[in-house]
Amino acid sequence: MPTKFKPSQSVFKRGDNKPTITHYYIKQTSKEELIKYINDGQKPKIKQKCLNELTRRGIKIQWKELNQES
């Protein structure tokens, strides 16, 4: 099964007996959203998944230190 970015979501519509299931696979996620999660996310496991996906796509990441003035 492909790697997931976040859990699947099922939505029930009125009048339908079946739920509509939306899957959030990491290969369908935009580059901007992956980079935003790497910078702001809390879970190291998902950060590593994002880094692996960007590497698979051939995107090189250049790390910079933040200058914190006190």
The 10s digit of each residue's pLDDT in 20-36 is 999 999 999 999 999 99
Domain map (residue ranges) of the chain: 4-56
Position with higher pLDDT, 47 vs 15: 47
> The pTM is what?
0.80
The pLDDT tens digits of the residues spanning 3-17 come to 999 999 999 988 888
> What's the pLDDT score for residue 53?
96
- The Cα–Cα gap between 38 and 34 comes to 6
Helix/strand/coil percentages in the chain, nearest 5: 35, 20, 45
Q: Tell me what the mean pLDDT of segment 30-47 comes to.
A: 94
Instruction: Give the rounded percent of residues in the chain with a pLDDT score beyond 90.
Output: 71
